[in-house]
Amino acid sequence: MTVARTLAASAAALGLSVSGLSALTVAPSIAQAQETQAATPVRESTPYTLATDQPLTVEQQAMRFDTADLSIKVTPQDKAIDAVAVLGFTAKAPLERLVVDLDTLLPISSVQIDGVELAADRWSNPEGRLTVELPQTLAAGGSVVLRVAYAGQPRVAPRAPWDGGFVWSTAPSGEPWIATAVQGEGCDIFWPCIDSPHGEPGRVDLHITVPSDLSAPSNGRFLGKVDHGDGWTTWNWSAKSPNTYAIALNVGPYEEVSGQYQSRFGNTIPLHYWHLKSDAPEKVQALFAEFPQMLDFFEANVGPFPFGDEKMGVVETPHLGMEHQTINAYGNGYKIDGRGYDWLLQHEFAHEWFGNQLTNANADDMWLHEGLGSYMQPLYARWLLGDRYMQRELANQREGLVNKYPVVSGTPKTEDEVYKGDVGPGGDIYSKGSLIAHSLRMLIGDDAFHRSLTRLVYGTDDPRPGAFTPLYRSTQDYLQIVNAVTGEDYGWFFRGYLYNAALPVLTQTRRDGRLSLQWTTGDGGVFPMPVEVEIDGRVRTVAMTGGRGEIAVPAGAHVLIDPQNKVLRQMDVIDRLQAYKAEQRAAAKP
């Protein structure tokens, strides 16, 4: 969940109406915090900084990002940070300069290479792209350490998490309550990084200094804290191969609930939830009880929790939520909505697999994060409560599709070009991606579908804890995996659903005791999707060779096409519903 998208797109993506989203997801204290946040004047970052997933520079392509050691002091009363970043790189090709990204709202006071201070004319940060001239060319295989000291007031999120940055809020008990949410804007909002999915460091160490009466849970393993005796305490963390935007600062009057989960794969996974001390204990315990249930579902249906040697971590935030690696942001206010689980927690947790372990090769492939992650919710509903609850979630998702732009364009995109529905698929990467995944599972079967997911996420059919590393994947990678798992070519399926904006149309003609069916796709390509037909209660499958098929139908027989709603397609009933809702919205405008 992320980027500066509309509330309506986010609601539709999760199978909710806009009114339903506001009613279900924002607790009073969180709503008040967001109102305070919205009233704060915006000091804007440059357009370069606000964009993310842009092409890597030549220098960045020639650098391997090994380590980031981040020391960040958070000063609530000034809404400011004071930080030092020590970054380690290895040259993959000869390097004359280093290029990283850092918001110009955070003035730089010092730049060092391998411990030696550089003169001001040896580095520059125009528009937020920090370029550092090396003292001499670094040969391929050579290593270098860049140290950057910076401080200032970072971008305030106008409306986190959709329009992100820092959230400076106040907890119900009166203490500062602070969080970062920067997926749409990128890691460079508060630390010098390579602001691209391909910029993941091998390890990030965090040293977060906050007032001693507050806590600072963050990514990865906890390495202890140091009380400096002057009213400030430093919390130390270490995370392996984190998604760049998933590095998060969380500061507040937290209490911690912890436990352990015995994985079906033999390892023990630490469970941690940092919640506000003002929360009702029974609500805290009810949410925490969902942690092992969710872990069991994902491990059974996808594979081992990717960060089991670190933790399953969740922290309560003054914004709705975000998939921060091993420290997922939770702001759903313990709402109960009849699903049988907390949808926000489950959605963000899905990104540990679809986003953090599997990372999109480009924003154009973002449906692999959001669509597959969103499909985990109907599947989880079935896991908990049965088919009726799965079908309800799928039906809610189906009603929100826009179908204005293809889910995948086939060309490189920035996140804004994907998430903003006026120029790209927007919310369709969630719900349409989920429904496409459902149609694929119905087509190739449970076993092949789950094997395809496992191979996509881990690169192997038999992943074991500690025996895999994060992967970059594209839509074409997934097609090749599906083809390999099934032994069939499903290029027609991916083309018909993902690369066309319009849904496939199934035309029906009934004449002389025969029912004729024909598929039409947005690009006119052949779409041999088989169709189940129920005739007087008996279900038959019609093979659609070449996109056409027919079946005998007795006169007067009742015919129901696709009785189990296995196939995503254009439907008049939903088109009429969407048109009606559009008319109602137009009529309600003053």
Residue 88 pLDDT > 70, yes or no? yes
pLDDT band at 361 (very low <50, low <70, confident <90, very high): very high
Q: Is the pLDDT confidence value at 23 over 90? A: no
296, 313, 506, 511, 519 from 551: Cα distances, Å: 43, 54, 15, 11, 15
User: What's phi and psi for 97, nearest 5 deg?
Assistant: -155, 155
Rounded distance, CA 199 to CA 204, Å? 12
216: CATH: 2.60.40.1730
CATH, residue 520: 2.60.40
**Domain termination site, one of 221, 252, 283:** 252
Annotated binding site: 347, 351, 370
For residues 198 and 288, membership in a common domain is answered with: no
Structural domains in the chain (count)? 3
Q: What is the DSSP string of 253-321?
A: SEEEEEEEEE-TTS-EEEEEEEEETTS-HHHHHHHHTHHHHHHHHHHHHT-S-TTTTT-EEEEE-SSSE
Are residues 480 and 556 both part of a single domain? no
Domain end, chosen from 252, 285, 311, is at 252
Domain that holds residue 529: 505-567
Q: Is residue 100 part of a domain?
A: yes
Evaluate whether residue 30 is within a structural domain.
no
pLDDT tens by residue, 480-525: 999 999 999 999 999 999 999 999 999 999 999 999 999 999 999 9
- Residue 186: partners with Cβ closer than 8 Å, 6 or more residues away: 49, 51, 52, 53, 101, 193, 195, 244, 245
Query: Could you tell me the pLDDT band of residue 150, with boundaries at 50, 70 and 90?
Result: very high
Is 590 among the domain residues? Answer: no
State whether 512 and 476 are in the same domain: no
pLDDT band at 24 (very low <50, low <70, confident <90, very high): very low
- Domain shared by 293 and 373, yes or no: yes
Give the integer Cα–Cα distance in Å for 438 and 442. Answer: 6
What is the pLDDT confidence band of residue 42, given thresholds at 50, 70 and 90? low
With respect to residue 423, please indicate whether it lies within any of the assigned structural domains.
Answer: yes
| 424 and 532 share one domain | no
Task: Give this prediction's pTM.
Answer: 0.92
- Alpha carbon distance 123, 131 (integer Å): 6
Shared domain for 279 and 381, answered yes or no, is yes
Q: Is the pLDDT of residue 16 over 60?
A: no
pLDDT of 21 reads 31
Q: Give binding residues for Zn(2+) as ranges.
A: 347, 351, 370
Within-domain flag for 525: yes
Please check the confidence at residue 19 and state whether its pLDDT lies above 70: no
The mean per-residue pLDDT over the stretch 375-392 comes to 98
Same domain, 466 and 556: no
Indicate whether 469 and 519 sit together in one domain.
no
80 confidence band (pLDDT: 50, 70, 90): very high
Residues 519 and 465 in one domain: no
Same domain, 78 and 192: yes
**Residue 458 forms part of a structural domain:** yes
Point out the domain boundary residue: 193, 220, 252. Answer: 252
Interval 299-339: pLDDT, tens: 999 999 999 999 999 999 999 999 999 999 999 999 999 99
Tokens 């339903």 belong to which residue?
20
Q: Are 43 and 155 in contact (CB under 8 A)?
A: yes
Q: Which residue has the higher pLDDT, 3 or 437?
A: 437
Assess if residue 121 is contained within a domain.
Answer: yes
Does some domain include residue 14? Answer: yes
Q: Classify 162 as helix, strand or coil.
A: coil
Q: Does residue 216 sit in the same domain as residue 285?
A: no
Question: Do both 454 and 363 map to the same domain?
Answer: yes
The helix/strand/coil state of 107 is coil
Q: Which of 486, 458, 452, 483 is nearest to 471 (CA)?
A: 458
CB 241 within 8 A of CB 201: yes
Specify the residue for token string 């009213």. 231
- Calculate what percentage of the chain has a pLDDT beyond 90: 92
CATH of the domain at 425: 1.10.390.10
